[in-house]
Structure 1
Amino acid sequence: MSSDSVQTIASEIELVPSNCFEPFDFRAIYGRNAPVEVDLGCGDGSFLAALAAENPAKDFLGIERLLGRVRSACRKIERHGLTNARVARFEISYTVAHLLPASSVTAFYLLFPDPWPKRRHASRRLVAENFLASLHRALCANGIVQIATDETEYFCQITRLIVHSGLFAVNSNPESASPATKFERRFRERGVAIHRLELRKVSPVT
């Protein structure tokens, strides 16, 4: 995606590509070459904005489907004067599979994804074999994925899928992502156990 096809300038925060079928050009979007980290389901942007503020040498992209949350995230980024953060309103699975260039992302954050706890809704869960393959494709060498959930059954399912994929080295006892998200703070206050994984890209998709 060329700079002409990206309807954004440095002062704009919401990324609105004119062509939703071409991969993002991060150099055109951010105006520099820097490591890119992606917050999958960035919600109101609190975590995304805090990350960007703490890491000015990196660029950050938040992916969020809901318009109200996208607008909230954009306001936070604007309020803090952050030039290294953008938000795109897309489905997560489509973005990872089709809009992120291969080997372009140094880290993904998948923190407290919707667990869809009812059995009849289980097929809507984000983490599946194809999604893991898409993450792997988009990650640069030794790129990482940080995952957190409060749902034990979903965590076990995610772990099984990851181990079966053979695409990642797994750290099952990573440190908490910093800064803490709203969900994490809420769960801590309630004494809810939080399950975490850190994945590192180790092998090519065959």
Structure 2
Amino acid sequence: MHANSSPIASSQDGIHDKLYAQVARHAATSFRKPYSPPTRKAFDASFQAWQASGCKPLILDSGCGVGLSTLHLATRHPDHFVIGVDQSADRLSRQVRWEGAMPQNCLRVRADLVDFWRLMLESPLRPEAHYLLYPNPWPKKQHLTRRWHGHPVFPAMVALGGRFECRSNWRIYVEECAAALAQLSGQQIEVESWNPIDPITPFERKYLDSGHGLWRCRARLAAVAPTAMPGTGSAIFTAEQ
């Protein structure tokens, strides 16, 4: 990737005026989309790989793209098992430039995160840490429901628990994510600028080289038990200290 990324353009100049109503509606109702067989198969394979690792503490890399971030996270956390998930077979099949030995404590799988998160929520598997790195911002105002915090699956995602971190080069995306988390938790979650010394995704490197500002929010989420389904409003979340 070259340093030629254009800044994000949007008619929005702040948090979407319908965000809070959207989050409240999704938190009050259960999302019952049928699971796709390929994602169920991918989840089963992921669960078995995690068990084969000795059930190490889990790091979830959601929307991992080519999987470079998954490799970095696995290298930085050798005592953990890292699962990178992306829906694109093309991205996952690309050759990743990597120096040194490939870490063995990770797995990259193709799956629909909408189903993968919910399947994980029904299982005993919970992430110790969960990264959502540079998701598609969907900057058009009418595309709020395509952003993760505006999607019906958002309550299920946060119910997984763990140390959650979202990064983006569009500050409004991170502000909305933090606001949605705060709405569910009743606590303040800060948005901060982010200037990594060693970028861990191709987009993080490209955005930095293109002169974009980077932003992130972090929260410590309390996991919901497998029997507590999303949409009940019973989850308890606490902000990262």
TM-score (norm 1): 0.74
**Unaligned 5+ runs, structure 1:** 1-15
**Residue 31 of structure 1: CA displacement?**
3.2
Greater fraction strand: 1
**Residue 127 of structure 1: CA displacement?**
2.1
SS state of the match for residue 68, structure 1? helix
The answer (yes or no) to whether the contact 1:166–1:203 under 8 Å persists in 2 is no
Whole-angstrom CA distance in 1 between matches of 2:134 and 2:179 = 18
- Relative distance call for 1:133 and 1:103 in structure 2 (3 A) is farther
Whole-angstrom CA distance in 1 between matches of 2:40 and 2:118 = 18
SS state of the match for residue 213, structure 2? coil
List aligned pairs for 1:18-97, cutoff 5 A.
Answer: 19=41, 25-26=47-48, 29-72=51-94, 80-97=101-118
1:185 match: 205
Q: Percent same amino acid at aligned positions?
A: 19
**Residue 117 of structure 1: CA displacement?**
1.4
- Relative distance call for 1:167 and 1:72 in structure 2 (3 A) is farther
Quick check: which has more Rg, 1 or 2?
2
The answer (yes or no) to whether the contact 1:22–1:98 under 8 Å persists in 2 is no
Whole-angstrom CA distance in 2 between matches of 1:81 and 1:203 = 31
1:123 match: 145
- Relative distance call for 1:19 and 1:121 in structure 2 (3 A) is same
Whole-angstrom CA distance in 1 between matches of 2:67 and 2:42 = 22
The answer (yes or no) to whether the contact 1:149–1:195 under 8 Å persists in 2 is yes
1:8 match: none
Tell me if 1:198 matches 2:191: no
Q: Which has the higher contact order (CA 8 A, sep 6+)?
A: 2
**Residue 37 of structure 1: CA displacement?**
0.3
Tell me if 1:161 matches 2:180: yes
- Relative distance call for 1:102 and 1:138 in structure 2 (3 A) is farther
Whole-angstrom CA distance in 2 between matches of 1:90 and 1:193 = 30
2:164 match: 145
Q: Deviations over 1:76-113 (max 9, x none)?
A: 78x83322111111111211112353462101110110
Whole-angstrom CA distance in 2 between matches of 1:175 and 1:202 = 25
**Residue 170 of structure 1: CA displacement?**
2.6
Whole-angstrom CA distance in 1 between matches of 2:156 and 2:50 = 23
Whole-angstrom CA distance in 1 between matches of 2:81 and 2:187 = 23
**Residue 136 of structure 1: CA displacement?**
3.0
1:6 match: none
- Relative distance call for 1:59 and 1:22 in structure 2 (3 A) is closer
SS state of the match for residue 88, structure 1? strand
The answer (yes or no) to whether the contact 1:63–1:87 under 8 Å persists in 2 is yes
- Relative distance call for 1:94 and 1:176 in structure 2 (3 A) is farther
Whole-angstrom CA distance in 1 between matches of 2:124 and 2:188 = 19
- Once the two structures are overlaid, the 10-residue window that deviates more, 123-132 or 41-50, is 123-132
**Residue 167 of structure 1: CA displacement?**
7.1
